[in-house]
Amino acid sequence: MNKTPGTSGLILDEPLLWEKGKPGRHAMSIPSSDVPAAPMDESLLGAEVDFPDLSEVDVVRHYTRLSQWNFGVDTGMYPLGSCTMKYNPKINEKHAATPAFAAAHPMLGDTHIQGVLQIMYELQHFLAEITGLDAVSLQPAAGAHGELTGMLIFHKYHTSHNSRRSKILIPDTAHGTNPASAALCGYKAIPVKSNARGMLDKNDVAALMDEDTAGIMLTNPNTLGLFEQQIREIADIVHAKGGLVYGDGANMNAVLGVVDAKKCGIDVLHLNLHKTFSTPHGGGGPGAGPVCVTKDLEQFLPVPRAVKEGDTYRLMTDQSQSIGRVHGFHGNFGVLIRAYSYILSMGAKGLNMASQLAVLNANYIRAHLKDTFHLAYETPCMHECVFSDKNQHDYKVSTLDIAKRLIDYGFHPPTIYFPLVVPGAIMIEPTETECKDDLDQFIATMKRIAHEAEHQPELLHNAPSRCKVKRLDEVTAARCPCLIGTAQADD
Ligand SMILES: *Cc1c(COP(=O)(O)O)cnc(C)c1O
């Protein structure tokens, strides 16, 4: 076996299907016609139809080869920070594909889908248990959608208290979706600076919090991978002025079974089932961002929700204070099945262990690379660690060069240049599913790249050099994208 990490196998030059097709090729055998030929009405096909003629094997090889140019968590480590690109056990996919679930029609009445409703009901219960909060809506389709739902709940809560508030506090380490969701709901986002230790300071929150402010949106652990230690005091300050606390729970992978959101003072929190709970993400597939709330806010949750009455389950829509529907039918049900299956197969202890390993793995990388790459913050991290390219500045090597060189060694690059508070950030989230051997290989590769930066910086400037697509001119790629693909040079 080749011990050098990397993707140096046979890389075929794949033409477009139109360049590959030959008139007369086809992918199926049809018996010869026993009726007279009739002229075809070309207008039925619409203007300018131009299908290539191809055999079955042409098509299969074409798409299989294209798929091999891709990179996924099934082919290697994918250490994107603040994204939790972890490996998801295949058993959860299998359950989601069970015909009884996959084919359940969304228009079926409650009596015909008791099993489906039971799963939704129990999942609501599990997510409440995991977060420490009281009630859950499974409707939102993504993290950002959960945030918008949360903001609508904030708004409804304040109007029900005869209060109109126009602002919301958002730390400078927040995910970009936070201010966007708040703005979509009509709130003005007021940034709160994190301190020199990468955390929120309660005094900064106190200075900004007033009675025109609906509340605060914060992420814990934050997007630097650090736990906001003053969260309880900050929540008390916000509550004292009549505000609410939104917790962005996209980083829950670090704290399952460790942190109780309600005890932290959080009123509304969304989870990313497509980060923490076994739905693969990236590529724009369906997700789910369930919203969990305290008892006081339960009445505002979107409908429908699954409820249990005696031994039967029903979808409850009669909730007069509800903000209304935020998604059609049952939400993204396939994603809910994966989460349910994941939670049951892991158990409470297993979920807790996953978080402990996620944190251990990030700290293992942090400890092994801190003498090679500049560490943005000295404190131990949670699920991700943030380095920068400061130590490589002298060699005129940047974060982008380091990330591109990782591709040559067969690793997906980590998140770069985010969060914005760390110039040249390299944000690594290994997740719990990488074993020590793989972490060691990643660490060795990062060290090798640092060595190259010092002695052969041109290797980094020209990276990636071993894969199909070489270093792109990023500005041209963004401004003048070549969507037909023929211009891709193969040098
Ligand atoms: C991913 C993420 C979001 C947004 O979730 P989407 O499902 O992509 O909308 C919000 N906040 C944080 C911290 C995230 O990591």
Give yes or no: residues 360 and 464 share one domain: yes
CA nearest ligand 1 atom 3, residue: 143
Domain identity same for 338 and 432: no
Q: What is the pLDDT of residue 490?
A: 44
Is 390 contained in some domain? yes
What's the CA-to-centroid distance between 174 and ligand 1, angstroms?
A: 10
Q: For the full predicted model, state whether its pTM sits above 0.85.
A: yes
Indicate which residue's Cα is closest to atom 2 of ligand 1.
250
pLDDT for res 12? 60
Cβ 222 under 6 angstroms from ligand 1 = no
Pocket test for ligand 1, best of 148, 170, 177 (most atoms within 8 A of CB): 177
Name residue 240's amino acid.
A
User: Which range of residues forms the domain containing residue 105?
Assistant: 91-345
In 3D, which of 338, 371, 295, 334 has the Cα closest to residue 135?
Answer: 295
Q: Alpha-carbon distance 251 to 366, whole Å? A: 18
Number of domains in the chain: 2
> Do 211 and 110 belong together in one domain?
yes
Structure tokens that stand for 274 in this block: 């497509």
The reply to whether 337 and 464 lie within a common domain is: no
- Say how many C-beta atoms besides its own lie within 10 A of residue 176's C-beta: 12
Residues 283 and 406 placed together within one structural domain of the fold: no
CB of 250 within 6 A of ligand 1: the answer is: yes
Query: How many CA atoms are closer than 13 Å to the CA of 270, on its beta-carbon side?
Result: 31
d(CA 224, CA 218) in angstroms, rounded, equals 12
Q: How many Cβ atoms sit within 10 Å of the Cβ of residue 195?
A: 11
Per-position pLDDT tens, the chain of length 491: 445 555 544 456 788 899 989 999 988 888 888 999 998 887 887 777 788 999 999 999 889 888 888 888 888 999 999 889 999 999 999 999 999 999 999 999 999 999 999 999 999 999 999 999 999 999 999 999 999 999 999 999 999 999 999 999 999 989 999 999 999 999 999 999 999 999 999 999 999 999 999 999 999 999 999 999 999 999 999 999 999 999 999 999 999 999 999 999 999 999 999 999 999 887 667 999 999 999 999 999 999 999 999 999 999 999 999 999 999 999 999 999 999 999 999 999 999 999 999 999 999 999 999 999 999 998 899 999 999 999 999 999 999 999 999 999 999 999 999 988 999 999 999 999 999 999 999 999 999 999 999 999 999 999 999 887 888 888 988 898 877 655 444 44
CATH number assigned to the domain comprising residue 177: 3.40.640.10
Do the beta carbons of residue 228 and residue 200 sit within 8 Å? yes
Residues 151 and 194 in one domain: yes
**Per-residue confidence (pLDDT) for residue 47, from 0 to 100:** 76
Which two tokens mark 285? 């597939």
* pLDDT value of residue 29: 84
Angle at 203 between CA 265 and CA 255, to 5 degrees: 35
**Residue 158 pLDDT:** 98
Q: What is the dihedral of CA 105, 108, 111, 115, to 10 degrees?
A: 20
Alpha helices in 105-208 (DSSP H): 114-131, 143-160, 177-184, 202-208
Task: Give 270's strand partners.
Answer: 248, 291
Give start and end residues of each alpha helix (H) in 186-314: 202-208, 231-240, 273-276
DSSP 170: E
| Pairing of β 305-309 and β 374-375 | unpaired
Q: Of 299, 314, 345, which closes a domain?
A: 345
Are 137 and 306 within 8 A, CB to CB?
Answer: no
Q: In what order do the strands lie in the sheet with 426-428?
A: 374-375, 385-388, 426-428, 415-416
State which of 315, 345, 375 marks the end of a domain.
Answer: 345
- Asked whether residue 339 is assigned to any structural domain, the reply reads yes
Based on the fold, state whether residues 168 and 247 are members of the same structural domain.
Answer: yes
- Can you read off the two tokens belonging to residue 90? 């295949």
For the Cβ of 82 lying below 6 angstroms from any atom of ligand 1, the answer is yes
pLDDT at residue 232, as a whole number:
98
Note the pLDDT of residue 69. Answer: 80
| Residues 135, 298 contacting (CB under 8 angstroms) | yes
Same domain, 194 and 112: yes
On whether both 201 and 129 belong to a single domain, the answer is yes
Task: Record the tokens describing residue 448, joined without a space.
Answer: 């090798």
Same domain, 312 and 292: yes
Cα of 250 from ligand 1 centre, angstroms? 6
Nearest-atom index, ligand 1, CA of 287: 7
* DSSP summary character for residue 417: S
* 412 and 287 within one domain: no
Residues 142 and 281 in one domain: yes
Judge if the beta carbon of residue 170 lies within 6 A of ligand 1.
Answer: no
Any domain includes 470: yes
For ligand 1, say whether the CB of 287 is within 6 Å of any of its atoms: yes
Pairing of the two strands 385-388 and 188-192: unpaired
**137 Cβ inside 6 Å of ligand 1:** no
Residue 126 domain-assigned?
A: yes
Q: What's the one-letter identity of residue 255?
A: V
CB of 219 closer than 6 A to ligand 1?
Answer: yes
289: Cβ below 6 Å to ligand 1? yes
8 A C-beta contact, residue 170 and residue 200: no
Ligand 1 centroid from CA 314, angstroms: 30
The separation between CA 244 and the C-alpha centre of its own chain, rounded to angstroms, equals: 25
Cβ 191 vs Cβ 171: under 8 Å: yes
What's the rounded Cα separation, in Å, for the pair 203 and 307?
A: 42
